[in-house]
A and B are shown apart, each in its own frame.
Chain A
Amino acid sequence: MRKGPFIVICAFLLLCLIGMVTGEVRYVLEKAVSICLDCIGIG
């Protein structure tokens, strides 16, 4: 069995967890629940 994919998945899982621990989930939510008119070309 190839080990490469498991190493890749574990590395990105770790990256994801680091992001979660540092509060990035809340940041994503904050940005996604507000309409940024400038970002979609209006305004």
Chain B
Amino acid sequence: MRRRLRRIIQSLSALLLNGYWYFPISRTIYQGQLKSICSPGLNCHSCPAATTACPLGAIQNFMAGIRVSMEAARYHFGFYVLGWLGIIGGLVGRMPCGWICPFGLIQDLLFKIPGRKIRIPDIFSYGPYIFLALTIFILPIWVVDAFGYGFLWFCKFICPAGTLEAGLPLLILQPTLYGMVGHLFYIKVAVLFFFFTWSVLASRPFCRTVCPLGAFYSFFNRVSLFQLKYHPEKCTHCELCYRDCPVDIKFYESPNDRRCIRCLVCLRESCAFGAISWEMGGTEGQSSRPKTSLVNSQ
């Protein structure tokens, strides 16, 4: 049941963030007021069922249009979206990655397919910061067309969530778009299948090597209101937390590590010795439940 709770919340989030089920009849995307709110997870707003805006898409739009908006004295710098993400990060850090993000759920489900599993080298964990800096901020501001608008580099050239949730469904809904499909779209489909395949072999490869949204939230893991607490006096270094961790963190070496997606598997399922607990704004929460039989056997 404890494992199922996260899966239920992930599924409900995915359904709520993609709750416009009228799209097969309307044959277009949702256009209501909810789209002025950004989703806490990666969810393309061009998805026909999407009910909220994608935060990465929104930030890139601000950065891409920054020169034009300044010339027009509008001064849109994306503070609304950055502030919104910062509030979420300040409250819970990267928890949306583990509990809300629909693309995270897809990767989790793919990793459940039995077979040989591989670990992702730590060096790749710097990838998301490079993608965040380059594709979300620097390139959209720097490389502009004749009218002064930049491109949405991450959405256009990389985002597999956009291909899965928007590109492919829109082609099905509007077959006339087939005529516009070029090499770039095939490359994006290849990127999607690459990450799908990698997700079967390794846990959460996209989150750990590319996702700029996770990179942004990761800055808050050590300062957020929600914190995981380590109790070294109870820890036996059995490494069960490391074995179960979807992002391969040794909790006892680095609690609240920037890579931690706050899925709480270590707290709720792995640790049998009560060595992990959580706190929210100074209020202590439940610790990992000591399993009596295991503790006695030590």
Interface residues, chain A, CB within 8 Å of chain B?
Answer: 1-2, 4-6, 8-9, 11-20, 22-29, 31-33, 35-43
Q: Which of B87-108 contact A (CB under 8 A)?
A: 87, 89-91
Interface residues, chain B, CB within 8 Å of chain A?
Answer: 28-33, 35-36, 38, 44-46, 52-54, 57-58, 61-62, 74-87, 89-91, 152, 155-157, 159, 162-163, 166-167, 170-171, 177, 180-182, 184-185, 187-188, 220, 223-225, 281-282
Residues of B within 8 A of A13 (CB): 83, 87
What is the CA–CA distance of A29 and B38 in the complex, to the nearest angstrom?
9
The number of inter-chain residue pairs (CB within 8 angstroms) is 155
Point out which of B77, B90, B180 has the most chain A C-beta atoms below 10 A from its C-beta. B90
B158 to chain A, nearest CB (A): 9
A9-B225, A26-B36, A42-B185 known; A37 vs B81 contact (CB < 8 Å): no
Q: Is the CB of A32 within 8 A of B53?
A: yes
What is the CA–CA distance of A33 and B105 in the complex, to the nearest angstrom?
25
List 9 additional contacts besides A12-B87, A12-B89, A28-B35; criterion CB under 8 Å. Answer: A2-B281, A5-B91, A5-B223, A12-B83, A19-B83, A22-B76, A41-B184, A41-B187, A42-B180
Q: Can you give 20 contacting A-B residue pairs, CB < 8 Å?
A: A4-B223, A5-B223, A5-B224, A9-B90, A9-B225, A12-B82, A12-B85, A13-B87, A15-B82, A16-B82, A19-B80, A22-B74, A28-B53, A28-B58, A32-B58, A39-B57, A41-B163, A42-B167, A42-B185, A43-B182
